[in-house]
């Protein structure tokens, strides 16, 4: 083996080791991002469940307050006006439920738009990385061809010189 080929072999081995380290780092990064996404989803679900429980608790407190007012009203004889009050309460509850549903849909739309933006950015970043990696591969291939003295030949190893006439 000549000194040049030994140096070249050492350089290739060093480059290979560096690529292995970069791959390991990227794998760790990807795993961390995936774990973060799972954790964020769990947190979001917990927050949604907490919101539902709070809404139920608010409904219970509201009903308790209404019942307390009716029972402590000296004008109430046990039947008078209860149906009207209950109908008003039922309409208020329906309106509140519709507003809550609309807000949940708006929140979901915002979440989906944010996720779409994130995915678009991620895709763009991946395309840029792919292009950069391809350019690096092309540059390395050209450099290696020059090092091996193949720069005057095309990809099939055929000389680019014009034939004799």
In the numeric block, the tokens 């774990």 are attached to 35
pLDDT in tens, 80-126: 566 666 777 888 889 999 999 999 999 999 999 999 999 999 999 99
pTM over 0.75: no
Q: E strand or H helix at 140, and its extent?
A: helix 82-148
- Orientation of helix 82-148 relative to helix 3-72, angle to 10°: 180
Annotate 33-69 with b (16+ C-beta within 10 A) or e (fewer).
eeeeeeeeeeeeeeeeeeeeeeeeeeeeeeeeeeeee
pLDDT: which is higher, 150 or 129: 129
Q: Would you list the domain boundaries of the chain? A: 1-72, 82-147
- pLDDT band of 132, cuts 50, 70, 90: very high
pLDDT-based confidence at 152, cuts 50/70/90?
low
Would the pLDDT of 158 be above 70?
no
């Amino acid at each position: 083996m000549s000194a040049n080929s030994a140096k070249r072999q050492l350089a290739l081995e060093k480059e290979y080791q560096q690529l292995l380290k970069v791959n390991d780092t990227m794998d760790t990064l990807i795993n961390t991002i995936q774990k973060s996404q799972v954790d964020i989803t769990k947190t979001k679900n917990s927050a949604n469940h907490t919101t539902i429980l709070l809404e139920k608790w608010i409904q219970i407190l509201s009903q308790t307050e209404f019942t307390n007012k009716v029972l402590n009203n000296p004008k109430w004889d046990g039947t008078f006006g209860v149906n009207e009050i209950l109908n008003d309460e039922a309409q208020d509850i329906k309106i509140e439920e519709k507003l809550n549903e609309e807000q949940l849909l708006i929140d979901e739309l915002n979440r989906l738009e944010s996720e779409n933006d994130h995915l678009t950015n991620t895709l763009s970043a991946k395309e840029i990385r792919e292009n950069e990696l391809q350019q690096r591969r092309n540059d390395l291939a050209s450099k290696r061809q020059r090092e091996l003295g193949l720069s005057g030949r095309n990809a099939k190893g055929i000389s680019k010189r014009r034939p004799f006439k």
